[in-house]
């Protein structure tokens, strides 16, 4: 892979944002499924139904509205909005109790995270592709997808480790199994939310809209190179 690709602040920045963002999403789906089954007593089928709203919102925004928003208010603004939704969703999930009510404690989280993903992912791809030359477009796209897999896998391993450590500490302090497990999950969601906030800061500071990048740099090979 040609390292010149990373001269583009949009390519580099988009991959950093993506790597941070997917940690929270992978953690929510994996640890959230454990929470729903192990603490709330959902069956595997019910877990799938519980996650369905996020998938519907994500697909609807990605296919029907994200492109219009990107064209209207810009990819960067769309990304910032999506990251905000994702961070709030993870923060809300970090307060879900051991006797949660789906409509009150779970459904709003699913809708917010679905909106976050549906807006953030198309905007990130747009920004990453805007920083690459036409000959490197395929490489830039592949790099973002690789970041999703690697960032999600590593991030999930870290979140699971933190959650387990927190759970063991709470059990040692005399908490019930359900409360200790939930405490561990809460820590993981909070870390995911914090990383999403860091991603938002990186997006605001590092990324530039394609039109601005091209105008300020006179449209060179890597229009938004630092």
pLDDT in tens, 127-153: 988 877 777 778 888 888 889 999 999
pLDDT in tens, 169-187: 999 999 999 999 999 999 9
**Over 80: is that where the pLDDT of 19 sits?**
yes
**Over 60: is that where the pLDDT of 27 sits?**
yes
The whole-chain average pLDDT of the chain stands at 88
Domains identified in the chain and CATH numbers: 7-208 (1.20.1250.20)
**Over 80: is that where the pLDDT of 82 sits?**
yes
Question: Region 30-57: what's the mean pLDDT?
Answer: 95
**Over 80: is that where the pLDDT of 212 sits?**
no
Indicate the range of 29-38, 105-114, 144-153, 210-219 predicted with least confidence.
210-219
pLDDT band at 17 (very low <50, low <70, confident <90, very high): very high
What separation in angstroms does the CA of 150 have from each of 15, 20, 32, 44?
A: 11, 11, 20, 26
Query: Tokens 């909005």 belong to which residue?
Result: 81
Could you give the 3-state DSSP secondary structure of residue 98?
Answer: coil
* Residues 43, 29: Cα–Cα separation, whole Å: 15
Burial label, 141 (beta-carbon count in 10 A; 0-12, 13-18, 19+): middle
């Amino acid at each position: 892979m040609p390292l010149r690709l990373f001269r583009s602040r949009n390519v580099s920045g988009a991959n950093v944002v993506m790597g941070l963002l997917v940690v929270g999403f992978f953690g929510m789906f994996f640890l959230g499924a454990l929470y729903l089954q192990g603490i709330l007593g959902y069956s595997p089928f019910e877990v799938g139904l519980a996650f369905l709203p996020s998938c519907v919102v994500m697909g609807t925004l990605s296919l029907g509205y994200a492109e219009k928003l990107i064209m209207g208010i810009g990819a960067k603004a769309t990304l910032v909005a999506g990251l905000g939704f994702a961070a709030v969703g993870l923060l809300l999930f970090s307060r879900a109790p051991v006797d949660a009510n789906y409509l009150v404690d779970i459904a709003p989280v699913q809708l917010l995270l679905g909106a976050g993903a549906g807006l953030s992912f198309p905007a990130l791809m747009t920004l990453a592709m805007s920083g690459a030359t036409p000959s490197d477009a395929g490489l830039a796209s592949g790099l973002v997808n690789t970041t999703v897999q690697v960032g999600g896998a590593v991030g999930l391993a870290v979140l699971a480790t933190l959650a387990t450590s927190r759970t063991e500490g709470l059990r040692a302090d005399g908490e019930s199994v359900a409360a200790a497990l939930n405490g561990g999950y809460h820590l993981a969601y909070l870390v995911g939310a914090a990383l999403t906030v860091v991603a938002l800061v990186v997006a605001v500071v590092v990324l530039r809209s394609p039109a601005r990048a091209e105008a300020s740099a006179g449209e060179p090979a890597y229009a938004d190179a630092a």
